[in-house]
Every structure is written in structure tokens, then in C-alpha cells.
């Protein structure tokens, strides 16, 4: 990293247009995070069509703002109505809601905002330091190494998304199959198009993502609505006391470190980071028995962790082209829609996008702090809008965006069909992220595989004789086998106890 790169980033981020869309992103992200059940993945998918026509750097600034803005937005519902806006805020409910019941909702929301700001800022510094050297190393990769990276991205996300590894892997296979639809890039022959001219270019990422993530999730929330009467949070008492700071400063520091490094692991994400941060804080605390009764560190640690994880997840996305979460899987597809190849060459071929995004995250975290301290009660009032009114409006906006992408009613039909599929998947616990990720990575994986086999005259040994690809494939195999072994041991132990 050179200082000039960061100056380039700030010169881009401080343009009026990019400042405006950074603000719009964090504002919408906070609102989306505050709506129970929607979450950052659905939010980014719904608003992705809005970014078409924007310069790629402006679009990515807005989408990233939605991502880390939603990390804080989920705190509002966790504290005020004991309902996490998204899964990464589950741990915040344990102590945040108890603080609200004791009249300290303001302090809980204030500490979450300040902790998220500190964690986000430190994580951006770490992103700036870690991503370029990782990308420089990955530039030396050839087709076999790219193939191994694609396999790693698929296996880790599929095995760590959702409650069932098998369901995740199944969805990844379905995504790979859907990715083969269209013209074979090497032979020029149509595949699985059923003589439909709309399928010659394959299934577009956008309608599939909007259908699975946004429409499917919203239909599920109509089917099983989550409503509660929010506790009112007044502006007074939003700033933590000195004792709060003494109790929470260690949690903020440990949560930031845990969140950033867990976020870097493909497939781990903010949810796992917040769980680990809360468990760690309880383990090192001098008063572990107080956790779950309204301790300030029980709010600070997971909130710092989930915000740091959202930044850490951008490292494998920007440097290697591997998403670190379901939301970055959607952002990976967005990069391809803007005509950019995610991965090691992104920083050298599009430095304005990478460094503009990094600089905008400094600014966005300041915006979040300014927004969330005084406006938390305003955001909470959105919860009073009936879901029966709110959700149809969001679905309508999403479908208009899908249509405007290519002025295609066929894409609208695809979004509606995948919305129904997404609803059924949500109902039965099948995660959508592996499917969408496989749909995006599938063509790249196939291309790298076929190029590698051409290089080796058809011999698959090329994947294990090249050290880097062999190591990556070994890690990918472990990502599948180790959870399977743990699952088998659990089942055997349960049977032994039952008998």
C-alpha cells in the first residue's frame, strides 16, 4: 500500500456524488437492518438495480454502505423489541433488551453505535494493509490456482451457510447446474436453453438474486410475520457513562479483532463472529454470571464484532474474488454486472474502485455514528408500519428495478419464479447464498477447469502438482470433510445415548 493510493481513494470518495450515495447507502442499510427478517443480503439484492447507470465505484460505495449500515440497524430491533433485525444481531438481544427493560435502551444503542464506529474504522485500516499484499501474491495464479480458489469459495460458503452442510452443498450443486445454461463459451453450442432465445446468454444474476434473497425472504415474513411493540428510546441517555466505558472497552477491542479475522474466512461471516465475541467476553469477564441480565459489554462485544466482520469479508472478495458472506456473494455478482473481474487483478486494473471504496468506508462509519446516535428513535418508529403495507411496496420496487435492468419482462418472470423458490427454500431451511454464489462462480470455475486441462493435455494431475493449487484444494476438502466428520460423530453419540 502506498500513501498515494489512499489519497486517490479520498479524492474519489469526497466527490459530491460519492458522498451522497455513501450517505444513502448507510441510511438505507440502517433502515433495512432495523426491519426484522430482511437483513443485508436481501437489502443489497433489492437495491442492486438502483445502482445501474452509476459509475462502478459509486455503486460499490452505496452497496458497501448498505452492508455495514445494516450491521448496526439490526441492533435497534434487538434492543427495543428483542427481535434481531438479522442473524448477526442475535447475541445483542441477550443483554441489549434487558438493558432496555431497565430503562437503559439509550445507553445500549449508544454503545453499539460507538463500538461499531471504532470497530469499523480499525477494520478499514486492516483492510487497507492486508488486501494489497494478498492480491499481489494471487496475481501469480494461473488457471489451476483459479480453479482451486473457486472450489474453495464454493465449499466453504456451502458448508458454513445455514444449519445443514448437506443442504448448503445441494444448493451449490443446483447453482452450478443453473450456471451451465446458455452458450458454451468454448464450443459455441447452446446448453439447456430449450429453444428459448432469452436463455442463450444464461440466467442473469440480478433476477435470480432479487428473487431468492429479497422476494423469497419478504414472502416468508408475510407468511410468518414478526411484530412486537417497541420500547421507546429517548435521545437523553444515549451516551454511555464512564463506568460503561470501563466495562466495555475490552469488549470493543476483542470484538473488533475477532470480527475482522473471522470475517476474512470465506463463509464464516458476521453471525459466527458475534457469537465468538460474546462467548469470549463472557469467558474473560470477572462477572460472567451477569451476562444475559443487561451488561454493557454483552452489547459492545458482538456489535463491534459484526461490524468488523463486514469489513473483513471484503478482503477475500476484493483480493481473491471469494465472498466471505452471503451479502458479499451478491456484491460479487454486482462487480461482474459492472464489467469487472473480481480477484487479484481488480486492484491494478480498477484502483479507483478499490481505493475509492476503502476511503468511503472511513467516511461512511462517521456518517453512521452521526446518524445513529440522535436518530435511533426515528428508525425505531419504522417498525410501526404494518408489514402488510411495507413488504408489497418493497417487492414492487424490486420488480421495477429488475425490469429496468434490461427492459425485459422475462427477467421479471425469472425474479417472480425464483421468489417462489426462495420462499420454499426459506420455509424448509435451504440457504440461498450457495446457489447464488455457484451461479456466479460456476462459469468462471468451468472456464478455469477447461483451460487447466488444455494446459495439461487432459491430465488432472496439474491441480496437485502445482503447490499453490494443491494446498488450496486440500483446504477446500477439509472444509467439507471436517464438518461431515463432526456431524457423523454427533449422530453416533446421539444414537449411543438413545440406546
pLDDT value of position 28: 86
Distances (CA, A) of 240 to 236, 300, 413: 11, 11, 50
Q: What is the pLDDT of residue 160?
A: 46
Q: How many CB atoms lie within 10 A of CB 396?
A: 10
Given a contact cutoff of 8 angstroms between Cβ atoms, the answer to whether 64 and 360 are in contact is: yes
Backbone angles phi, psi at 191, to 5 degrees: -130, 130
Highest mean pLDDT (candidates 232-241, 325-334, 415-424) = 415-424
Q: What integer is the mean pLDDT of 319-331?
A: 72
**pTM for the full predicted model:** 0.62
Rounded CA separation 178/174 (Å):
6
Q: What is the pLDDT of residue 159?
A: 47
Residues belonging to the chain: 499
Label residue 269 by pLDDT band (50, 70, 90): low
Q: What are the Cα distances from residue 433, in Å, to 124, 162, 267, 319, 430?
A: 25, 9, 10, 20, 9
Question: pLDDT averaged over the chain?
Answer: 76
* Cell numbers found for residue 238: 444515549
Would you place residue 255 in the very low, low, confident or very high pLDDT band (cuts 50, 70, 90)?
A: confident
Region 331-339 average pLDDT:
78
What are the φ/ψ torsions at residue 190 (nearest 5 degrees)? -75, 145
User: Hey, what long-range contacts does 424-430 have (CB within 8 A, 24 or more apart)?
Assistant: 425/171, 425/212, 425/216, 426/216, 426/217, 426/219, 426/220, 427/220, 427/223, 429/162, 429/163, 429/164, 429/167, 430/162, 430/167, 430/170, 430/171
The tens digit of pLDDT for each residue in 64-94 reads 888 878 777 777 767 776 655 566 666 777 7
Dihedral over alpha carbons 198, 204, 210, 211 (to 10 degrees) = 50
Share of the chain above pLDDT 70, in %: 81
Q: Where are the alpha helices (DSSP H) in 139-268?
A: 143-160, 165-179, 205-209, 216-223, 242-264
> Where do runs of H (alpha helix) occur along 161-204?
165-179
pLDDT of residue 204: 76
Q: Which residues pair with 191 in a beta bridge?
A: 182
Directed axis angle between helix 143-160 and helix 433-455, to 10°? Answer: 160
State what percent of residues in the chain have pLDDT above 90: 1
pLDDT per residue over 136-191, tens digit each? 665 566 788 878 877 776 765 554 455 676 787 788 888 888 888 888 777 778 88
What is the residue whose three cell numbers read 477447469? Answer: 449
pLDDT of residue 139: 59
Report d(CA 86, CA 171) in Å as an integer.
21
The tens digit of pLDDT for each residue in 372-402 reads 767 666 655 555 667 677 778 777 877 876 7
Predicted pLDDT at 421: 92
What does the block give as the cell for 217? Answer: 425472504
Amino acid at each position: 500500500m502506498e500513501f498515494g493510493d489512499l489519497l486517490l481513494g479520498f479524492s474519489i470518495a469526497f466527490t459530491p456524488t460519492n458522498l451522497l450515495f455513501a450517505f444513502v447507502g448507510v441510511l438505507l442499510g440502517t433502515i433495512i437492518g432495523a426491519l426484522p427478517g430482511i437483513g443485508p443480503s436481501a437489502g443489497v439484492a433489492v437495491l442492486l438495480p438502483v445502482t445501474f447507470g452509476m459509475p462502478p465505484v459509486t455503486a460499490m460505495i452505496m452497496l458497501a454502505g448498505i452492508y455495514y449500515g445494516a450491521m448496526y440497524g439490526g441492533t435497534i430491533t434487538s434492543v427495543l423489541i428483542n427481535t434481531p433485525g438479522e442473524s448477526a444481531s442475535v447475541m445483542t438481544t441477550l443483554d441489549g433488551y434487558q438493558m432496555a427493560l431497565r430503562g437503559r435502551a439509550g445507553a445500549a444503542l449508544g454503545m453499539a453505535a460507538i463500538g461499531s464506529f471504532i470497530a469499523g474504522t480499525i477494520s478499514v485500516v486492516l483492510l487497507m494493509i492486508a488486501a494489497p499484499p494478498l492480491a499481489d501474491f494471487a496475481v501469480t495464479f494461473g488457471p489451476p490456482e483459479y480453479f482451486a480458489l473457486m472450489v474453495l469459495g464454493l465449499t466453504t460458503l456451502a458448508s458454513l451457510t445455514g444449519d445443514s452442510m448437506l443442504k448448503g452443498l445441494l444448493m451449490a450443486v443446483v447453482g452450478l447446474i443453473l450456471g451451465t445454461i446458455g452458450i458454451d463459451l468454448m464450443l459455441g453450442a447452446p446448453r439447456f436453453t430449450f429453444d428459448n432465445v432469452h436463455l442463450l446468454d444464461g440466467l442473469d444474476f440480478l433476477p435470480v438474486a432479487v428473487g431468492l434473497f429479497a422476494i423469497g425472504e419478504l414472502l416468508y415474513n408475510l407468511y410468518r410475520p414478526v411484530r412486537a411493540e417497541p420500547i421507546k428510546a429517548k435521545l437523553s441517555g444515549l451516551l454511555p457513562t464512564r463506568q460503561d466505558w470501563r466495562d466495555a472497552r475490552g469488549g470493543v477491542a476483542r470484538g473488533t479483532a475477532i470480527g475482522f479475522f473471522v470475517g476474512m474466512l470465506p463463509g464464516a461471516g458476521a453471525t459466527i463472529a458475534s457469537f465468538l465475541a460474546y462467548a469470549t467476553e463472557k469467558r474473560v469477564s470477572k462477572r460472567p454470571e451477569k451476562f444475559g441480565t443487561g451488561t454493557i459489554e454483552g452489547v459492545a462485544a458482538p456489535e463491534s464484532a459484526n461490524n468488523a466482520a463486514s469489513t473483513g469479508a471484503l478482503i477475500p472478495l476484493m483480493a481473491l474474488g471469494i465472498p466471505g458472506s452471503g451479502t458479499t456473494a451478491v456484491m460479487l455478482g454486482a462487480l461482474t454486472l459492472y464489467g469487472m473481474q473480481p480477484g487479484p487483478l481488480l486492484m491494478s486494473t480498477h484502483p479507483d474502485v478499490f481505493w475509492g471504496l476503502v476511503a468511503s468506508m472511513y467516511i461512511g462509519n462517521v456518517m453512521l455514528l452521526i446518524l445513529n446516535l440522535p436518530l435511533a428513535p426515528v428508525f425505531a418508529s419504522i417498525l410501526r408500519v404494518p408489514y402488510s403495507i411495507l413488504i408489497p411496496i418493497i417487492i414492487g420496487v424490486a420488480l421495477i428495478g429488475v425490469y429496468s435492468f434490461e427492459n425485459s419482462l422475462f427477467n421479471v418472470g425469472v425474479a417472480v419464479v425464483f421468489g417462489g423458490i426462495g420462499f420454499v427454500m426459506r420455509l424448509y431451511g435451504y440457504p440461498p447464498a450457495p446457489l447464488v454464489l455457484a451461479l456466479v462462480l460456476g462459469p468462471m470455475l468451468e472456464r478455469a477447469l477447461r483451460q487447466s486441462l488444455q494446459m495439461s493435455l487432459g491430465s488432472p494431475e496439474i491441480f496437485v502438482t502445482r503447490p499453490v493449487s494443491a494446498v488450496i484444494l486440500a483446504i477446500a476438502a477439509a472444509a467439507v470433510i471436517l464438518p461431515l466428520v463432526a456431524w457423523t460423530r454427533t449422530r453416533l453419540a446421539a444414537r449411543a445415548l438413545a440406546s
